[in-house]
Structure 1
Amino acid sequence: MRLHLFKLGTNPVGAPVPGYLVQTDDGTNVLVDSGFPRTASGPRVFVTVGPEEGVEARLAAVGLRPADIALVVCTHLDPDHAGNHDLFPDAEFVIQRGHYERAKAGVPARLEMARAAWDQPRLKYRLVDGDTELLPGVDLVESPGHVEGHQSVLVRLPRTGAVLLAGDAIPSGEHLDPDARAMTPFDVNESAVRASTRKLVALAEAEDALLVRGHDAQQWPALRTGPDDCYE
């Protein structure tokens, strides 16, 4: 099993907008998040996407096309995470039920920006409830607070060991202390944020996992992010 870390753009504070690719030993390709909408324009654009940073370009760099993706894990449907779901009509999208149902109802309103990409009748969604084994070695970890039904991803690799993709539940190293951490402007539930932070930090410690924060400009250069430099 291999794990690729993709930089799919840069947000307004200079931090990476990430996506992730898990490739299993049986050839299943799992994408985690699809990045900022490639069609966004005007004042709605708050992420800079370089010419080689779009999700299609990142996949091509490792020899894949969107049609090769079997599963897309949605950490959540914020526009910088779900803006290109429409590129993957052949994939199955896996999302927490509570988040999907609230997003369909328009809550929170910021999810509407990328709705044209993630809310299409042709896209196939699998709704899960809470912590779930997606595949052997890949677990979904419910981590709400940033939005209801946010989920993180734990990948257990044969050589590297465990890697915990925290997503926006823990966006940077400044957000690792569940009691002292600040809220971000987009967090919707402070008590849930603190509980999820505590849960993920404890899980990373129990698994001796590399904890990859969601938007951390300081951590990113120390990670393996090149097309030929992945975690195995």
Structure 2
Amino acid sequence: MKLYCMQLATIGENHMPIPGYLIQTDEGQHVLIDTGLPHTIIAGKSIQMGPLQVRIQTVEPIMAQLARINLQPENIDYLICSHFDPDHVGNHELFSHARLIAQRTQYEYALQSPLPRFSQFRGHWDRPTLQYQLIEGDHTLLPGVELIETSGHVSGHQSVLVRLPDAGPILLAIDAITHSDGLDPETRTMSPLDMNEKMLRLSTRKLINIAQREHAKHIICGHDAEQWMRLKKLPEYYT
């Protein structure tokens, strides 16, 4: 099994990464996690992220990243939707061949919410051509790929635990823990985009407990610029 980390864009003056991930199983299945901002967005443009306006610094869309390892959207078997914020769902419409895996709570909330963070790119992920599988709570997708319900940033957010033969377990916290300074559930700060502080602290504790139980050497945070500088990025990978 291989895990690819993809930096799909950077935003803001500190070049905060917009990530995506690809898991390639030994059986030849491809599992994509999130699709970044819409491929039509160009560097230099400002976009609204909840109450924040941020400038796009760099962009390498998901299709270009996949093409670097000779994959096309139709090669993706599963698309894990961590949640429906704009920097995670911008190219879902390209993956009509895949099964999209989302927490029911988050999908139904985002579908009905008038908040711009969910509505502005709804046309990219709310399409009759997309095949959603809605789950509730923690879920084993495939051997070595486990989805972990981690509400707080949004209701029904999900993180991913990937068990690799050499690197061991790697925990993709995504937006449940966006920066390495948020690993302490008691003292971590909240961002303006976090919707439920109590649930976020509980989810942080859940992830830390899982990392300790699994002896995970890596907790990859969702938007930590310093950490992402040290990570292997596609076409390199973890095994």
TM-score by length of 1: 0.95
1:206: how far off?
1.1
RMSD: 1.5
Q: Give the letter for the 1:2 counterpart.
A: K
Partner of 1:120: 127
Partner of 2:229: 221
1:43: how far off?
4.6
Q: Unaligned 5+ residue runs, structure 1?
A: none
Structure with greater strand percent:
2
Contact 2:65 2:234 in 1 (8 A): no
Q: Distance in 2 between matches of 1:139 and 1:9?
A: 26
Partner of 1:20: 21
Secondary structure, in 3 states, of the residue corresponding to 1:44?
Answer: strand
Q: Distance in 2 between matches of 1:178 and 1:167?
A: 15
* Counterparts in 2 of 1:222 and 1:134: CA distance versus 1, 3 Å: same
Q: 1:180 is matched with which residue: 187, 194, 198?
A: 187
Matches within 5 A, 1:160-199: 160-199=167-206
Q: Give the letter for the 2:19 counterpart.
A: P
Matches within 5 A, 1:116-155: 116-155=123-162
Contact 1:30 1:72 in 2 (8 A): yes
1:174: how far off?
1.5
Aligned residues: 230
Contact 1:152 1:167 in 2 (8 A): yes
Match status 1:2 vs 2:24? no
Contact 1:6 1:58 in 2 (8 A): yes
Match status 1:89 vs 2:96? yes
TM-score by length of 2: 0.92
* Counterparts in 2 of 1:122 and 1:49: CA distance versus 1, 3 Å: farther
Match status 1:67 vs 2:74? yes
1:11: how far off?
2.0
* Counterparts in 2 of 1:92 and 1:218: CA distance versus 1, 3 Å: same
Q: 1:158 is matched with which residue: 145, 158, 165?
A: 165
Q: Distance in 2 between matches of 1:136 and 1:172?
A: 28
Partner of 1:37: 38
Q: Unaligned 5+ residue runs, structure 2?
A: 49-53
Q: Distance in 1 between matches of 2:89 and 2:80?
A: 10
Secondary structure, in 3 states, of the residue corresponding to 1:48?
Answer: strand
Contact 2:66 2:72 in 1 (8 A): yes
* Counterparts in 2 of 1:47 and 1:117: CA distance versus 1, 3 Å: farther
Q: Which moved more, 1:103-112 or 1:168-177?
A: 103-112
Identity of aligned residues (%): 47
Q: Distance in 1 between matches of 2:16 and 2:26?
A: 32
